[in-house]
Amino acid sequence: MQFLPNERVALFIDGANLYSASRNLGFDVDFRNLLEFFRKRAHVIRAYYYSAVLETEEYSPLKPLTDWLAYNGYTLVTKPAKEFTDATGRRRVKGNMDIEVAVDMLELSARIDHAVLFSGDSDFRRLVEAVQRKGVRVSVISSIKTAPPMVADELRRQADQFIELSDIAPEFTRRPTEARNAEHRGADRAERAERAAARRSEMTLRQTPADPFPEGPDLA
């Protein structure tokens, strides 16, 4: 992993993508340590965190995390998620943040030397290419060790460097968790509601909140 001490770095974190990758790898992210990890290696001028928020819910499991991030060095970018029912009758949530990431990275490209993108979405390949043409190095952080891999091959090839998330995870792991399996994903709604209630009772803003994304609806 190559970072120059004096280069200006900006982090662009696709919240849902990072959450999914870290859970599949079996750990929770400590966002305080994540920011410090990069600050020790470069001059971080901005750290963006992107997430869609489902406003129809009375309580959002994401709120403790977003509140904490907003007060602890991150620039929070959110927008309302859209809830819909697919052809099979399943409740789904759509909250794509690609445009927000692209606008911020392009606007900031004249003021940074290095962009760090936490995502494996293939839609970002053209964005990475455009920013590189402006003279900015781009690192992509995701994982090829999950099944299936979280990062698209075309995005990994386009990046100046690909950083395997599991290789740097020990630097900002909050606590070990069990990787998800099919049985866990298939738990019924009652069990998931009980787990969510237990997590809510444990969450405080004095720590980096974990498990910010609801397990009920699928993110599409």
CATH number of domain containing 38: 3.40.50.1010
Overall average pLDDT of the 88-96 stretch: 72
Packed helices 98-108 and 125-133: angle between N→C axes, nearest 10 degrees: 10
Percentage of residues in the chain with pLDDT exceeding 90? 59
Is residue 1 one of the residues assigned to a domain? no
Question: What does the pLDDT read at residue 89?
Answer: 78
Q: What is the total count of domains within the chain? A: 1
Is residue 100 one of the residues assigned to a domain? yes
Question: What does the pLDDT read at residue 104?
Answer: 97
Which ranges constitute the DSSP H helices of the chain?
Answer: 15-25, 31-39, 63-70, 98-108, 125-133, 153-158, 165-168, 182-185, 189-202
Higher-confidence position of 84 and 199: 84
Whether residue 215 is predicted with pLDDT greater than 50 in this model: the reply is: no
Is residue 71 one of the residues assigned to a domain? yes
Domain range spanning residue 83? 8-219
Alpha-carbon span 218 to 220, nearest angstrom: 6
Task: Say which DSSP state 208 is in.
Answer: -
Is residue 3 one of the residues assigned to a domain? no
The string of pLDDT tens digits covering residues 130-169 is 999 999 999 999 999 999 999 999 999 999 999 999 999 9
